[in-house]
């Protein structure tokens, strides 16, 4: 009896737990508008009586869930991506089923508006079929401009070119091709290409599409007449505009109109002295300087307020220290800056500046004419010098560095070779300079690309300069040429320091000696030539060379 009582008590407890679970499920369905998933009955290893009770409970839950799904189905829709969307009938809030999280998530306002704007049963590639209750793909195009869909291969394949053309052979046995427009092409075997056949039909079709130029005499005559008429019209328009401008000027200034005849140009005035505008004056005058000041010290002093202009030819600072006839410095000087702003800075900083016990004075430079103005004495700047000066200014104000971090200097591309020759060698045989250049270029080209070879034939150390494409190639040249013997002379190779100048200009005395030697050489050559001609004439007139009758000719 006790065993049966225990079994009955366990069955009562099981039934009570099942009823509590059922009440909880019904409470959740009543409170939440979103349908829950169908619950799966738990597997219990109890006796068969408990199994029957759990099966009955599962059947009841299946019936309730199917009834609830039927109630929710009228509020279900599907989005553009095929996802299910549930709309709460009471709050009009929309929920979307999340497959990854396996739950319902509320839709945002933007997604709701986007869903309302378009058709929820159709998107770009698919359309909802209410009969089959499935998303079916839309009918797509099977052909584009360059591709075509192949049903057998199930992929897009490119169209075959010239598919509408016709191939053939002409009467001469050459291959021909006619396209869809009727243009005929012939095959060129040497160039392996199709070329259009130039005939009357082709020229007519070409001129009909692109027009043509009439090169006949009548067309040229018509063109010349049009150009003459256009030139005449422009000339009349220019005269009319000139007359209107002169009339306007005469109304504004009656005195000038009376002095200058109408229709004639005013004579150009000769150049004259003019005062420079202070806003463009870049020069300052410095006074009360120490009498023993040097040009370097003066340059350092004026460089505190800005960059000093350099001469394009000599690359020296445009500074001047005025001196007496005997060379003694007067104590005043002139400085030319690049920017006008440097002048204003010098007036504020350097004026009344104490330099070694001298309170210097700085002011804008003002120039006065002494005597009569002679424009011929003013140095004329060439266009090349102006461009060079402008490039120098741009380089000075360029913010970019000369070389990047870790990059080697440009002067390291240049190799200096010494003890290569003696200057007397080229005095005797000038053509050896070209031979030395070719030999150096050929030898150094083993290390890289040689850009330039220069022989300084007047340098006493026998210097040659070789410019390579990169510093690494220059290092290889130095390694190859250092300590090498050339013509019983041991060479030395090193990188150029970027400052040393090896070119030696010819002095006036040396130039005079060279020209005099050249004149002597020409005179000797002329005398030798005359002597050889006189000798030939003497040989011809001598009786030994004359032939007598009956003598055999050589």
Mean pLDDT of 154-179: 74
Cα 531 to the chain's mean position, in Å? 69
Q: In the prediction, which pLDDT does 474 show?
A: 94
pLDDT band at 180 (very low <50, low <70, confident <90, very high): confident
Q: In the prediction, which pLDDT does 301 show?
A: 92
246 within some domain? no
Mean pLDDT of 360-377: 75
Q: In the prediction, which pLDDT does 549 show?
A: 47
Residue with more model confidence, 283 or 553: 283
Pseudo-torsion of CA 550, 551, 553, 554, nearest 10°? 160
Q: Do 351 and 429 share a domain, yes or no?
A: no
Domain end point (choices 368, 402, 434): 368
pLDDT tens for residues 286-337? 999 999 999 999 999 999 998 898 887 787 888 999 999 888 889 999 999 9
Does 60 have pLDDT greater than 90? no
Percent composition of the chain: helix, strand, coil (DSSP 3-state, to 5): 40, 20, 40
Say how far apart CA 478 and CA 461 lie, in whole Å.
Answer: 17
Say how far apart CA 48 and CA 377 lie, in whole Å.
Answer: 131
CATH value at residue 491: 3.30.70.330
Q: How confident is the prediction for the chain on average, in pLDDT?
A: 75
- Residues of the domain holding 359: 279-368
Q: How many residues does the chain have?
A: 554
pLDDT band at 452 (very low <50, low <70, confident <90, very high): very high
pLDDT band at 93 (very low <50, low <70, confident <90, very high): confident
Residue 480 neighbours by CB under 8 Å, 6+ apart: 443, 444, 446, 447, 493
Q: In the prediction, which pLDDT does 478 show?
A: 93
Domain end point (choices 505, 520, 539): 505
73 within some domain? no
Say how far apart CA 268 and CA 270 lie, in whole Å.
Answer: 6
Mean pLDDT of 35-63: 46
Q: Do 421 and 501 share a domain, yes or no?
A: yes
315 within some domain? yes
Q: In the prediction, which pLDDT does 311 show?
A: 81
Quote the number of domains for the chain: 2
Q: In the prediction, which pLDDT does 259 show?
A: 46
Lowest mean pLDDT among 23-27, 116-120, 422-426, 454-458: 23-27
pLDDT band at 1 (very low <50, low <70, confident <90, very high): very low
Q: In the prediction, which pLDDT does 370 show?
A: 65
Q: Is 456 exposed, middle or buried (0-12, 13-18, 19+ CB in 10 A)?
A: buried
Task: Report the DSSP pairing between strands 126-129 and 134-137.
Answer: antiparallel
475 within some domain? yes
HEC string for 440-483: HHHHHCCCCCEEEEEEECCCCCCEEEEEECCHHHHHHHHHHHCC
Does 27 have pLDDT greater than 90? no
pLDDT band at 175 (very low <50, low <70, confident <90, very high): confident
480 within some domain? yes
Q: Do 364 and 283 share a domain, yes or no?
A: yes
Q: In the prediction, which pLDDT does 220 show?
A: 72
Residue with more model confidence, 433 or 12: 433
Q: Are 48 and 38 in contact (CB under 8 A)?
A: no
Q: Are 341 and 306 in contact (CB under 8 A)?
A: yes
Does 418 have pLDDT greater than 90? yes
554 within some domain? no
pLDDT tens for residues 247-292? 776 765 555 444 444 445 555 555 555 566 777 888 999 999 999 9
pLDDT band at 494 (very low <50, low <70, confident <90, very high): very high
Domain end point (choices 488, 505, 522): 505
Does 480 have pLDDT greater than 80? yes
């Amino acid at each position: 009896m006790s065993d049966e009582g225990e079994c009955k008590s366990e069955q009562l407890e099981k039934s009570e737990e099942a009823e509590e679970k059922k009440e909880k499920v019904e409470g959740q369905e009543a409170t939440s508008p979103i349908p829950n998933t169908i619950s799966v009955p738990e597997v219990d290893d109890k006796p068969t009586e408990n199994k029957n009770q759990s099966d009955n409970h599962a059947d009841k839950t299946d019936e309730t869930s199917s009834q609830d799904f039927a109630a929710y189905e009228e509020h279900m829709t599907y989005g553009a991506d095929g996802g299910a969307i549930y709309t709460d009938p009471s709050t009009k809030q929309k929920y979307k089923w999340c497959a990854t999280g396996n739950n319902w998530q509320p839709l945002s306002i933007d997604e709701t508006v986007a869903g309302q704007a378009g058709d929820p049963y159709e998107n770009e590639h698919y359309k909802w079929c209410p009969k089959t209750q499935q998303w079916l793909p839309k009918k797509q195009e099977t052909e584009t401009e360059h591709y075509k869909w192949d049903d057998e291969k199930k992929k897009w394949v490119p169209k075959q070119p010239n598919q509408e053309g016709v191939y053939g052979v002409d009467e001469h046995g050459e291959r021909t091709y006619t396209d869809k427009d009727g243009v005929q092409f012939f095959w060129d075997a040497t160039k392996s290409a199709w070329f259009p056949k130039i005939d009357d039909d082709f020229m007519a079709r070409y001129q009909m599409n692109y027009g043509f130029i009439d090169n006949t005499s009548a067309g040229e005559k018509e063109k010349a007449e049009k150009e003459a008429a256009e030139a005449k019209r422009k000339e009349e328009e220019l005269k009319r505009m000139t007359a209107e401008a002169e009339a306007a000027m005469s109304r504004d200034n009656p005195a000038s109109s009376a002095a200058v005849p109408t229709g004639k140009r005013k004579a150009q005035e000769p150049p004259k002295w003019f005062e420079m505008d202070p806003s463009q004056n870049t020069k300052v005058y410095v006074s009360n300087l120490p009498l023993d000041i040097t040009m370097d010290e003066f340059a350092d002093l004026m460089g505190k307020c800005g960059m000093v202009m350099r001469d394009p030819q000599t690359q020296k600072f445009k500074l001047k220290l005025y001196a007496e006839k005997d060379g003694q410095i007067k104590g005043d000087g002139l400085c030319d800056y690049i920017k006008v702003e440097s002048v204003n800075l010098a007036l504020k900083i350097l004026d009344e500046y104490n330099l070694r016990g001298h309170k210097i004075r700085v002011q804008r430079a003002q120039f006065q004419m002494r005597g009569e103005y002679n424009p011929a004495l003013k140095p004329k700047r060439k266009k090349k010098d102006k461009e060079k000066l402008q490039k120098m200014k741009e380089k000075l104000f360029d913010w970019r560095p000369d070389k990047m971090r870790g990059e080697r200097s440009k002067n390291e591309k240049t190799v200096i070779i010494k003890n290569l020759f003696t200057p007397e060698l080229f005095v005797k045989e000038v053509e050896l300079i070209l031979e030395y250049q070719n030999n150096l270029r050929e030898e150094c080209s083993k290390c890289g690309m040689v850009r330039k070879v220069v022989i300084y034939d007047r340098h006493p150390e026998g210097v040659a300069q070789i410019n390579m494409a990169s510093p690494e190639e220059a290092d290889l040249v130095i390694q190859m040429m250092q300590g090498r013997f050339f013509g019983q002379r041991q060479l030395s190779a090193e990188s150029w320091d970027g400052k040393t100048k090896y070119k030696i200009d010819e002095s006036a005395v040396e130039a005079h000696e060279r020209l005099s030697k050249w004149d002597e050489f020409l005179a000797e050559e002329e005398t030798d030539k005359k002597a050889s001609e006189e000798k030939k004439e003497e040989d011809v007139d001598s009786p030994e060379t004359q032939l007598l009758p009956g003598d055999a000719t050589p």
